[in-house]
Each structure stands twice: as structure tokens, then as C-alpha cells.
Amino acid sequence: MNRVHRFANRAPRWAAVIPVAFLVVFFFYPLQAILAESLRGGEILSRLGSSTTWRVVRFTFLQATISTVATLAAGLPLAYLFSHYRFPGRRLLRAVATVPFVLPTVVVGSAFLALLGPGGWLGRDASGSLFAIIAAHVFYNTAVVLRTVGTLWERLDPQLGEAARALGAGPLRRTWSVTLPLLRPALAAAASLVFLFSFSSFGVILILGGLRYATLEVEIYRQTFGFLDLGAASVLALIQLGVVAVTLLTYVRYQRRTATQVTLRSPIDVARPPDSLRARGMVAAILGMAGILIGLPLAALVIRSFQGQAGLSLQAYRALDDAHFGDLATPVQSATNSLVIAVVATLIALGVGIPAAIAVAPRAKAAELLDTLIMLPLGASAVTLGFGLLLALDSPIDLRTSRLLVPIGHALVAIPFVVRLVVPVLRSIRTSLREAAAMLGASPAAVMRKVDLPLVGRGLGAAAGFAFLVSMGEFGATLFLARPDTPTLPLSIARLLSRPGAFPEAMAMGTILAAIAASAILVIDRVAEPNGPSREF
């Protein structure tokens, strides 16, 4: 009798076929190729016994752990600030604080090179140090803490703290035995994610790590292209996948708990203006710290892009059009490549992601399984994805020289985002919304125009924007898949950084890419649902 209900429970079977087929060919088949390669000729045994392998694994763990702790230390005050205090520019600042997370890793690396590298603002060269790597990871991941913990924090019932106060608990005690336990699911989720991202970090470490520091990801790249040792790279990729799987499982477990355990209230009226002198001082201090953490690297990137030999100039930007720097493509050409690739990747990601979202939207058991399946590529690092595609796609048909390979790799990374953005939109369109519109006098055409299109359109717009953004900034997979004569923007930036004398040009391209990414995410954020996936990760 209830039509809404019937509609919501029906999972169109055809919709699941496309994403599953895509994943089998471009994800599971390459994974299998990695496994096969690592098992060949006892490679796995000799590699697992080698001290080099364990040194790399140890360093990867070490830097990821320090990065996680440091990011939490930097992110929690900021999360507290945005969830508890209302002040002018709060909305904008919160949006700005999340920008680093969507910046391409190459841009992050460049910004820190501008700040800490040779001739940088620090005064001495700190690139190639653990400090530079950690700082970049904190810069990049603070937004994760801000969004995961902050959104929970601002919805915690303040009465719980007041109840504790009434029971005689002082501020320290309240934090320790009320607030922290309540936030624990979000803290654990944020920590897992930050650990995951730092563990899989590639672009940042390739640029900032110098020769001394290599994570698993960087080592996979070196073994593949430096030593042409695919067996060694495969074993490392397996280790990488194993750690990622364990971390992701932890994350998923805590995500489930967040959804069920904590009593929340609506996010209205919790934040107050800082009314005491102490509160104002604290707001100013936290904002200042965030300004240094987030603002300084970006400022260094932008300003150094304008620093020519003779003071400030647009020289670096002018050179982008014709300078080859010994490369096969000018920066402008690689930007064009990037745009074309991003458009194709977006189309593929939507073509696979929309059917996937349609299949996942009804809340059923089978849909849940498919959902997990679709999220898997997000867990596998970009380098692993690129490496797997490279290994696998020579037979039965050789796709390795195809122009589609790079967009496909990008789409693999973008599809989970598309699904996460479109699913809530599909779920929000109930039959009763259309009927309600009809009862208010809307003709069928008006229902389409006023209800269906705005609802679906916003989600699709945001999804397309995100896919485009992912593709524009993708570095790890692209490095494995792009042909030398058609580099993308991030690839060109990385090459320019390694060429003496091309530093301002690299900074100029980094600035352009950062501007594209930042404006895209600000637009997407306004367009998408405020409680949509870009807020929940």
C-alpha cells in the first residue's frame, strides 16, 4: 500500500553490473597481477627477509604515527574553536581551513619546498628532513580532524558537560571523563584516516623526502622505474595493501559506532561568541596558530612564484607558455592535457559512479556489500593502483599505451567520491516529495523542474566537480601511467622542481593548480548538501 516504501526498497539489478565489471577489470584484475608477480620465483620470501624492506616499512610507520599525533594536536584546538565559538568570518575560515585537503599533493610539496627548501623563508634548507614531511602532512590532514571531530563536537549535547559540572567535576575532569570519551569514535576515525593518508603519502615525500627518506609508496616507485624490479615493487605493494586494509577496518568499525552511540542535538545555538577576555585570547591564539600552519606555506608558494631574479615579476607566469626546460611539453601544453584528461575521467567516473549510486541507494544487504566494494580503490593507494594497472593491462589487450589509461586510473580514485555524493541525494528524493509538489499545484513538468532537477542536479554537479578536482591533482597513479610526451600539470610541476633554475615556474604552476582546486572546492561546498559526504569523509 505504501508506494514510497516499495520504491525505496527496489534495487535495480542492472545498475550494479557496470561498477562491478569496471572494478573487476581495472581494480581486482590488477591486484591479482600484483599478487602473482610477488609470488613469482620466491620473490616474496627474499624480499620479506631483506633489511631494506623492513627499514622502509619502519620509516613508513614512524612518519605516519608522528604525523597522526601531530595532526591531532593541531586539529583539535581548531575543531574546538569552530564548534564552540561564533565569530566574524567563521564560515569562510572554516571553508578555507579545509582547502589544504583538496590541494594536489604536488602543490603541498611545492608549498613546503617554497617555505622550507633551499632559499626558503626558514633561512636554511630543511627539505629532506622528517620535520618537513611531518609539517606537510599536518598541513594537509588538519581538515580531516576539523571535519570528522568538529562536526561531532558541535553536536554534542552541552548538558552532558553541565551535568558533570553539577556533579562536581572540574574543567580538566570534565574534558577527560566526559568530552573525550564522547568524542572517541570521531577521534579514532580521524586518527585512522590521517594515519592512512600519511602512510600512503607519495607526492609529498617524493618532493620533500630527498634521497634519505622513502615510504613504501616511494620505494614501489623507485623499484619500478629506478631498478625495473617489478617483483620487489609487488611485494612492497602487498605490504602496503595489508596495512591499509587493517587501518580501514578500524575506521569502518568506529564509523559504525559514531552513527549509533552518541546522543546528539541539532547543531544550532551551541556556538557562542567569545564573551570573556580569556575566551577572546584563546580564539585569537588558535586562529593565529592555524594562520601560520595553513597560511604560511600557501603564502610562500604564491609569493615565490612572483620572485624573479630582479624582484617581483610575472616572469615565471609568462614563461609557462614557451619554456620547455628540456621537456617534451610546455607547461601550457601539460595544463591542456590535464584538462582533457580531467574531463574524460569525470565522464568515466560519472558513467560508473551514477549507476553504482543507484544500486547502492536502497538500504539493502546486497547494496551494503556493493558499497564496500566500491570504496575499496579509495583504500588502495594511488601508487598501487597505477602500478597494478601497469602490470596487468598488457594482455589480453595492451591498454598501456592507450590514451584512456590515465583517465581510467583517475576515475578509479574518483568513483568512490562520486558514489558518496550522489547516494544521499538519491535517498533524499522520495515519492512523497513529488506528490507534495503536485498537491501544491505543480504540474508534472513543474515537478521535474522544481523538485527532481534541483535535487539531483546539485548532487551531480558536486560529484562532477569532485571527480574533476581529483583528476586535476592526481599524481601517484599518473606517474606510472602517463606517457612521457603527454604529462599532466602535477607531473610537469614535479619535473620542473627537479630542474635547476625552473623553481619560479614550478611555483607559478603550483599556484595556478592551487587556485583551481581551492575555488572548485569552495563552489562544491556551497552547492552540495551541508551534511553531505564532503563533510563526513
Partner 1 sequence: MLEVTELSKRFGTTLALDGLSLAVPEPTVLGMLGPSGCGKTTLLRSIAGLELPDAGRVAWDGEDLAGVPPHQRGFGLMFQDYALFPHRDVGRNVAFGLEMAGQPKHQIQRRVAEALELVGLMGFDRRRVATLSGGETQRVALARALAPAPRLLMLDEPLGSLDRNLAERLMGELKQLLGRVGITSIYVTHDQEEALAVSDRLLVMRAGKLAQEGTPEEVWEHPANAWVASFLGLTNLVEAAVADGVAHTPWGPLQLGEPVAAGTYQILVRPEAFIPDQGGGLEGTVDSFTFRGDHFLARITPARGPTMQARLADRPRPGETLRFRVDPARVQPLAD
Beta carbon nearer to partner 1, 1 or 228: 1
CB of residue 265 vs partner 1: minimum separation in angstroms? Answer: 10
Entry field: residues in the chain: 537
CB of residue 435 vs partner 1: minimum separation in angstroms? Answer: 5
CB of residue 40 vs partner 1: minimum separation in angstroms? Answer: 54
Going 386 to 391 to 394 to 400, the CA torsion angle's sign is positive
- The answer to whether the CB of 263 falls within 8 A of the CB of 157 is yes
DSSP secondary structure code for residue 438 in this structure: H
DSSP secondary structure code for residue 124 in this structure: S
Q: Which residues contact 486 (CB under 8 A, 6 or more apart)?
A: 329, 334, 337, 403
Beta carbon nearer to partner 1, 9 or 443: 443
CB atoms within 10 A of CB 415: 32
CB of residue 536 vs partner 1: minimum separation in angstroms? Answer: 14
CB of residue 518 vs partner 1: minimum separation in angstroms? Answer: 25
CB of residue 447 vs partner 1: minimum separation in angstroms? Answer: 8
CA dist 38 to 16, 34, 61, 233, 479, Å? 31, 6, 22, 8, 21
Q: CA 428, CA 295: separation in Å to the nearest integer?
A: 37
- Phi then psi for residue 321, to 5 deg, are -75, -30
CB of residue 423 vs partner 1: minimum separation in angstroms? Answer: 14
Beta carbon nearer to partner 1, 229 or 536: 536
- Phi then psi for residue 494, to 5 deg, are -60, -40
Beta carbon nearer to partner 1, 130 or 455: 455
Which residue's C-alpha cell is 591499509?
Answer: 244
Which residue's C-alpha cell is 623507485?
Answer: 222
Strands 307-308 and 311-312: antiparallel
The one-letter amino acid at 520: A
Query: H or E stretch including 470?
Result: helix 453-473
Task: Give the HSE-up count for residue 486: Cα atoms under 13 Å, Cβ half-sphere.
Answer: 17
Beta carbon nearer to partner 1, 16 or 152: 152
CB of residue 451 vs partner 1: minimum separation in angstroms? Answer: 7
The one-letter amino acid at 103: L
Strand (E) positions, 65-124? none
Which residue's C-alpha cell is 513529488?
Answer: 434
Beta carbon nearer to partner 1, 310 or 439: 439
Q: CA 86, CA 283: separation in Å to the nearest integer?
A: 10
CB of residue 467 vs partner 1: minimum separation in angstroms? Answer: 22
Beta carbon nearer to partner 1, 400 or 450: 450
Residues that bind partner 1 (CB under 8 A): 1-2, 4, 266-268, 428, 430, 432-433, 435-443, 446, 450-451, 454-455, 458, 529-531
- The answer to whether the CB of 107 falls within 8 A of the CB of 117 is no
Q: CA 204, CA 43: separation in Å to the nearest integer?
A: 29
Beta carbon nearer to partner 1, 326 or 441: 441
Beta carbon nearer to partner 1, 268 or 277: 268
CB of residue 156 vs partner 1: minimum separation in angstroms? Answer: 16
Beta carbon nearer to partner 1, 90 or 222: 90
- Phi then psi for residue 126, to 5 deg, are -110, 10
